[in-house]
């Protein structure tokens, strides 16, 4: 289903209006505020590709929002509905997200107006390589200046093609593969990147549930276990989030909304089986033991504890916001709640955990991947064996001192040297927790007058403004 663009307010206006609320609190110089909010540069490209004897012309964009830190960072989206305004809004979100998460990047985003499901693999490869050439030759893709990643409609495969194309154009750039993140591990990717956004969401929710007062403000209480979740989009982000929350935290995924409709089962849907079904059939229809609803978007209004929009932007808007019956909206997608809807949800005391924090796991682990690529060594390679040997020494010392054998399981834990996945998950967990604590602290500094979203933007704007002023504006 091609999403309709019948919203009164554009995506970038919606983001700007949210940022304005933070600017009003900070009372920043209006010129500086304007400089922070606008995109520094936007590239639009039109290019032809011959497919099965027919010439197709494609339109793509890459928006560079902020370069107060370099490289600028942001994914590439393939969608038939994408336009320049979306890309500019998404690039802005990247700037704020990196600042909130303490990731030392500026913000960027790219998009190609295409329905990837309508093209065969080989054709997609040629289109991607051609688009990459357009970006590289104009300075909108490189390890030092502008680094891409997967987004809606793209994944590891597209990143591998992009990295390879950049490498062919720049054979002497020793850091070539760092021009994109989210690559397959055997081509320079980092372990844990594929799951990172869903994993980050899980860590963020775990941290949120550690504060009973924040949980109580939503109308929920107790642990994560048993909480009823509705999720829209079972792609990279939605699938991993749903899988981890249900399999590891005991949450119940009571509804999944996809392109072709939604499935509901109050007892909880089996995420892995549903994901396989979706991949095999291209939709959710005909999945056993669940009620199928053809009107997918209406299922966003299901009564639940947590609603996780993990597909598209602006799916919660002024028309359906009055009917949303979740206690917490967890923004896994970028911009799923419009500015107007955000105000309605606030009035209705429905708490929102904002995209710029909640889905930042992807860019956090992308940062780790970029660092790994620049250092040309796998995380943990130097330390792992050393840690294991030290673990053995500790066990020996304890057993000698106590004349008792330690349980086997404990021994295994002590001698386990951290591998790359352990380190990536640990770094991600710590970053998500620290970011939430900071957002909570700022929210409380203003006596909880503002939302988590405004508190996040306050943090971002303060950091970006400081960077602009310290570097000097000329
Ligand atoms: P994806 O292409 O892997 O998955 C998107 C899923 O949404 C697919 O299963 C698709 O079928 C479904 N979908 C598409 N249109 C839909 C509709 N109208 N109704 C219901 N479902 C629909 O994309 P993704 O990487 O999971 O990205 C999803 C969202 O998360 C986007 O907003 C993206 O910007 C954001 N995001 C992604 C990452 C990442 O690391 N991939 C990081 C941060 C934020």
Report the nearest atom of ligand 1 relative to the CA of 362. Answer: 40
User: Do residues 232 and 352 share a domain?
Assistant: yes
Alpha-carbon distance of 64 to 8, in angstroms, equals: 25
Residue 462 lies in a domain: no
User: Do residues 205 and 128 share a domain?
Assistant: no
* Whether the Cβ atoms of residue 5 and residue 81 lie closer than 8 Å to each other: yes
User: Do residues 113 and 209 share a domain?
Assistant: no
User: Do residues 207 and 327 share a domain?
Assistant: yes
Q: How far does CA 4 lie from the centroid of its chain? A: 23
Residue 440 lies in a domain: no
Distance 463 CA to ligand 1 centre (A): 29
Total number of domains in the chain:
3
Alpha-carbon distance of 315 to 336, in angstroms, equals: 5
* Whether the Cβ atoms of residue 113 and residue 87 lie closer than 8 Å to each other: no
User: Probe ligand 1: pick from 73, 311, 361, 368, max atoms within 8 Å of CB?
Assistant: 311
Report the nearest atom of ligand 1 relative to the CA of 238. Answer: 26
List, for residues 180-222, the tens digit of each pLDDT value: 999 999 999 999 999 999 999 999 999 999 999 999 999 999 9
Domain final residue pick, 331, 361, 391: 361
User: Do residues 178 and 75 share a domain?
Assistant: yes
The CATH number assigned to the domain holding 155 equals: 3.40.50.10860
Domain final residue pick, 312, 331, 361: 361
Distance 152 CA to ligand 1 centre (A): 5
Distance 273 CA to ligand 1 centre (A): 19
Residue nearest to atom 23 of ligand 1 (CA): 152
User: Do residues 182 and 200 share a domain?
Assistant: no
pLDDT at 1: 37
List, for residues 387-414, the tens digit of each pLDDT value: 999 999 999 999 999 999 999 999 999 9
Residue 167 lies in a domain: yes
User: Do residues 183 and 201 share a domain?
Assistant: no
3-state SS class at 36: helix
Residue 217 lies in a domain: yes
Residue 455 lies in a domain: no
Distance 315 CA to ligand 1 centre (A): 12
Tokens describing residue 314: 């602006």
* Whether the Cβ atoms of residue 318 and residue 338 lie closer than 8 Å to each other: yes
Domain final residue pick, 187, 216, 232: 187
Pocket of ligand 1 (CB under 6 A): 1, 3, 150-153, 197, 232-238, 257-259, 296, 310-312, 332-334, 359, 362
Pairing of strands 41-51, 54-66: antiparallel
Distance 397 CA to ligand 1 centre (A): 51
Cite the beta strand spans of 6-158 per DSSP E.
Answer: 41-51, 54-66, 72-73, 76-79, 106-113, 146-147
Query: Which of the 8 DSSP states describes residue 43?
Result: E
Residue nearest to atom 30 of ligand 1 (CA): 333
Query: The pTM is what?
Result: 0.95
Residue 438 lies in a domain: no
Residue 270 lies in a domain: yes
* Whether the Cβ atoms of residue 325 and residue 304 lie closer than 8 Å to each other: yes
Q: Point out the catalytic residue in the list 73, 109, 183, 243.
A: 109
Say whether 109 is catalytic. Answer: yes
User: Do residues 334 and 203 share a domain?
Assistant: yes
User: Do residues 277 and 157 share a domain?
Assistant: no
- The confidence band for 7, taking pLDDT boundaries of 50, 70 and 90, is low
**Cα–Cα nearest to 350, from 374, 368, 330, 380:** 330
User: Do residues 279 and 401 share a domain?
Assistant: no
Tokens describing residue 466: 């400081």
Domain limits at 271? 196-361
| CA distances to 8, 53, 144, 310, 449 from 241, in Å | 31, 42, 31, 9, 30
Residue 366 lies in a domain: no
Average pLDDT over residues 233-256: 98
Report the nearest atom of ligand 1 relative to the CA of 297. Answer: 19
| CA distances to 49, 301, 452 from 444, in Å | 54, 30, 10
| CA distances to 174, 207, 233, 280, 466 from 203, in Å | 34, 6, 19, 30, 29
CA-atom Rg of the chain in angstroms: 23
Distance 62 CA to ligand 1 centre (A): 19
* Whether the Cβ atoms of residue 313 and residue 323 lie closer than 8 Å to each other: no
pLDDT at 472: 73
User: Do residues 205 and 349 share a domain?
Assistant: yes
Residue nearest to atom 29 of ligand 1 (CA): 333
The CATH number assigned to the domain holding 205 equals: 3.40.50.720
**Cα–Cα nearest to 134, from 47, 73, 51, 48:** 47
Average pLDDT over residues 119-125: 97
User: Do residues 262 and 210 share a domain?
Assistant: yes
Residue nearest to atom 35 of ligand 1 (CA): 333
In the chain, pLDDT over 90 holds for what percent of residues? 95
């Amino acid at each position: 289903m091609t999403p309709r663009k019948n919203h009164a307010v554009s995506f970038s206006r919606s983001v700007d209006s949210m940022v304005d609320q933070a600017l009003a609190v900070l009372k920043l110089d209006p010129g500086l505020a304007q400089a922070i909010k606008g995109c520094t540069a936007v590239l639009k490209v039109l290019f032809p590709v011959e497919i099965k004897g027919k010439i197709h012309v494609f339109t793509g964009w890459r928006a560079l929002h902020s370069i107060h830190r370099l490289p600028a960072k942001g994914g590439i989206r393939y969608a038939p509905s994408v336009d320049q305004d979306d890309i500019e809004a998404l690039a802005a979100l990247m700037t704020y997200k990196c600042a909130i998460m303490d990731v030392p990047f500026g913000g960027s985003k790219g998009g190609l107006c295409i329905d990837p499901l309508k093209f065969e693999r080989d054709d997609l490869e040629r289109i991607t390589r051609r688009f990459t050439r357009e970006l590289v030759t104009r300075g909108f893709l490189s390890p030092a200046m502008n680094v891409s990643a997967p987004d809606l409609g793209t994944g590891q495969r597209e990143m591998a093609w992009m990295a390879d194309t950049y490498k062919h154009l720049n054979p002497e750039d020793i850091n070539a593969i760092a021009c994109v993140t989210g690559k397959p591990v055997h081509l320079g990717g980092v372990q844990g990147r594929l799951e990172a956004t869903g994993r980050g969401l899980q860590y963020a929710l775990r941290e949120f549930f550690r504060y009973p007062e924040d949980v109580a403000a939503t109308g929920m209480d107790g642990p994560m276990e048993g909480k009823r979740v509705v999720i829209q989009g079972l792609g990279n982000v939605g699938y991993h989030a749903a899988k981890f929350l249900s399999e590891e935290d005991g949450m119940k995924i009571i509804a999944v909304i996809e392109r072709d409709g939604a499935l509901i089962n109050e007892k909880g849907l089996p995420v892995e089986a549903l994901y396989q079904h979706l991949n095999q059939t291209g939709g959710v229809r005909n999945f056993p033991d669940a009620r199928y609803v053809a009107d997918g978007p209406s299922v966003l209004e299901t009564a639940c504890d947590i609603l996780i929009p993990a597909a598209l932007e602006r799916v919660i808007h002024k028309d359906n916001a009055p009917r949303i019956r979740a206690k917490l909206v967890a923004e896994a997608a970028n911009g799923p709640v419009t500015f107007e809807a955000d105000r309605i949800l606030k009035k209705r005391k429905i708490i929102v955990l904002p995209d710029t924090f909640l889905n930042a796991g992807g860019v956090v682990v992308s940062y780790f991947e970029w660092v790994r690529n620049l250092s040309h060594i796998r995380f943990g390679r130097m330390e792992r064996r050393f840690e294991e040997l030290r673990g053995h020494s500790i066990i020996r010392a304890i057993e000698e001192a106590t004349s008792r054998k330690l349980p086997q399981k404990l021994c295994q834990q002590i001698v386990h040297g951290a591998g790359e996945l352990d380190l990536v998950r640990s770094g991600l967990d710590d970053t998500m927790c620290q970011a939430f604590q900071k957002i909570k602290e700022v929210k409380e500094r203003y006596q909880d007058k503002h939302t988590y979203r405004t508190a996040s933007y306050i943090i971002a704007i303060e950091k970006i403004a400081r960077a602009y002023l310290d570097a000097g504006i000329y």
